[in-house]
Amino acid sequence: DWTMDKFVDKELARIRALVGEKGQVLGAVSGGVDSTVAAKLMHEAIGDRFHAVLVDNGCMRLNECEQVKKTLTEHLGINLTVIDASDLFLDGLKGITDNPEAKRKFIGGTFIDVFEAEALKIEKAAANSPKAGKIEWFLQGTLYPDVIESISFKGPSATIKTHHNVGGLPERMMNGQGLKLIEPLRELFKDEVREMGRKLGIPHDLIMRHPFPGPGIAIRVLGEVTREQVAIARKADYIFIEEIKAAGLYDQISQAFAALLPVKAVGVMGDKRVHQQVISLRAVQTTDFMTANIFRFDWDFLERVSTRIVNEVDGVCRVEYDLTSKPPGTIEME
């Protein structure tokens, strides 16, 4: 019968057979569960002949990039290159004011450009190594539900929004450069990926991490994305998640975040009237992310978060809680 231990051994053997003695593999990581588990598995299988790349798009959470880098390199031993492309992303997002789809397309496209340029550099360096051969494989952390979704959602719903997943690459890189796909998680559900991650020694916090979208905070800053707006959303989000963890609620919630609304409201702070922006908090419970219910916090908790955000985040004078389930809402705001 099926056990995770046997499955891991079988996958390691399959990867080694596919890639061979000298073959090399490239993959994108985001710090999320799926890409990290896939990367760790690949590292177990072929060591430093697996090359992981993390693209910093300037829209990650507070300290996230440093943390991911530390965990993947120091703790998990993965051969990782971090590319800071923040300026490229943030400059390019300027002027996209009322078009979530344009935001997503720009971020997805820029990600691929940055990733491709780095891949070419890694390939060149790899080609000169006496110990290893060409990079012929591309690792993708596709799960079973992703496989099903891409088969069954070819209808109008697929056009609602373009998901940018750090795992995915376009034809031009795959076939154009002759990269072949390896998808070691494609038979697994999320809970099984987590189980595999535990077996591979990935820390609990990372295993239980809420999903985070590829475009990051850019789709949680409604309207135009600027450095200032990202900084505000990032701080508010950090406070919200910190309080959720302190209250012991993190593992009961499927996903939670703060979004910054592109409107201003009046408030009083000290003895002055202010005209500042509004933060919207969102937290949901779901098993499949196709439908979701709002998480029912107690009022004291929400009030505490609200007070902290208004006091600690410059430019914000009000906090709201999003009461919309999915459907009709989506989990993200854009």
**What is the contact surface with ligand XMP in residues (CB under 6 A)?**
163-165, 211, 213-215, 255, 289, 326, 330-332
Closer residue to ligand XMP, CB minimum distance, 163 or 308: 163
Nearest to 132 by CA among 124, 140, 144: 124
Closer residue to ligand XMP, CB minimum distance, 170 or 211: 211
CB of 29 to ligand XMP, least distance (A): 12
CB of 303 to ligand XMP, least distance (A): 26
Signed CA dihedral, 169, 174, 176, 179: sign only: positive
Measure Cα distances from 37 to 3, 264, 280 in Å: 17, 42, 32
Both tokens assigned to 185: 């998680």
CB of 7 to ligand XMP, least distance (A): 24
Closer residue to ligand XMP, CB minimum distance, 197 or 216: 216
Closer residue to ligand XMP, CB minimum distance, 43 or 164: 164
CB of 331 to ligand XMP, least distance (A): 3
Nearest to 58 by CA among 172, 226, 174: 226
CB of 141 to ligand XMP, least distance (A): 10
Nearest to 313 by CA among 281, 279, 283: 279
Closer residue to ligand XMP, CB minimum distance, 175 or 330: 330
101-139 in b/e burial notation, b at 16+ Cβ within 10 A? Answer: eebbbbbbebbbebbeebbeebbeebeeeeebeebbbbb
Distance CA 49, CA 135 (A): 9
Nearest to 220 by CA among 207, 229, 228: 229
Closer residue to ligand XMP, CB minimum distance, 53 or 331: 331
Inter-residue contact 79 to 48 (CB < 8 Å): yes
Measure Cα distances from 147 to 64, 129, 183, 192 in Å: 28, 35, 10, 15
CB of 108 to ligand XMP, least distance (A): 7
Closer residue to ligand XMP, CB minimum distance, 199 or 326: 326
Distance CA 203, CA 269 (A): 42
CB of 232 to ligand XMP, least distance (A): 20
